[in-house]
Amino acid sequence: MGTLNSSFLFRSQLRRVISIAIVGMLICFCIVLYGFKHADRTVEKINRDRLFHLREACERTNNGGKNTIETSFYIHVKNESLLYCLVFKSGTTTWFYNINRWAGISEETILDDKTDNFNMARQKYPWENPRVLLTSMKNTYSFIVVRNPFERLISAYEERLLGQLHPYFKNLSHQIYRRYHDDGNHFGIPSFEDFARFVVEQSRNKKPADLHWRPINDLCTPCLARYDSILKMETFAQDIEYLTNRTQLHGKIKPVQMNRSRRDRVDRLIEKYFSQLTKQQFDDLYDVYRIDFELFQYSSERFSKYVKQTE
């Protein structure tokens, strides 16, 4: 009898422990699920705020000074019902990789330094004229990826002019150096100050800037577009997660990092490069990207504090 009572007591205690464990697991699951939903709602609100701010800023700036939509850098991925505007130096490596991979192009080809991923993507996803593009925006998940304009400029300077991986940029780098240095050196490397002066002069002379540092307002004319999402490089991971939750892209987007040019932390690079500029040079450079700063809620304070206070 004692043995039976002990066995019954053991089974009773075991059932109680199992019940408590199951309840605990359910509570944990609910907490995690709530956390995911709460986080998604938070990102959703951030996205709504970004879109609302864009509309308000477009009204203040008279649509960024644009009258017709620039269609050259929009890619319509019909199979995934996705419409994306390319902002070079703002996550394009990741998107080129995935967009071209969805088109059946091999990873080896996509990641080859000699591959022009934009032209390759354009062959698979043809250009759309303004009327067709605006219609596509109404029926497709449309998004843009942006970045602080001056961080984007630093990235372009480091990768394109200092990296000199492409003959075009190697030649351009030497041209910019010779433009501001009369020392007989035909193969010098321009300073960031030289580069800033070049960007400002190109803008004032109404010459089209290279795609890697062309203002977003010129690349995508965002005030004339319709977006479902505005992704930012500063919050790229959570924004990608939000986008996949709103589309059919779960498990289809693979982040890719190919920028090998960065030598220091971003804050160190900001100090290193913007300390080369006078206040006037900084103000002139800011004017080139002023609309981008306004449209996407970016601040220049992190950069201006390093500017030379005397000429």
pLDDT of 20 above 80: no
Residue range 66-107, pLDDT digits in tens: 999 999 999 999 999 999 999 999 999 999 999 999 999 999
Q: What are phi and psi of 129, to 5 degrees?
A: -70, 165
Query: Rounded mean pLDDT of 105-113?
Result: 92
Question: If DSSP codes are grouped into helix, strand and coil, which group holds residue 250?
Answer: coil
Q: What percent of the chain is helix, strand and coil (3-state, nearest 5)?
A: 60, 5, 30
Mean pLDDT of 17-24: 55
pLDDT on residue 31: 46
The pTM of the whole model exceeds 0.75: yes
Q: Which amino acid appears at position 207 of this protein?
A: K
Number of H helices, E strands in the chain: 13, 4
Q: Which residues contact 78 (CB under 8 A, 6 or more apart)?
A: 125
Residue 113: predicted pLDDT:
83
Q: Are 190 and 7 in contact (CB under 8 A)?
A: no
Task: Provide φ and ψ at 229, rounded to 5°.
Answer: -140, 145
Task: Report the alpha-carbon distance of residue 51 to residue 47 in Å, rounded.
Answer: 6
231 sits in which H/E element: strand 229-232
Domain parsing of the chain, residue ranges = 43-305
Percent of the chain at pLDDT above 90? Answer: 77
> How far is residue 180's CA from residue 170's CA, in Å, rounded to a whole number?
16
Average pLDDT of the chain to the nearest whole number: 89
Which contiguous run of DSSP H or E holds residue 83? strand 82-85
User: What is the pLDDT averaged over residues 262-282?
Assistant: 92
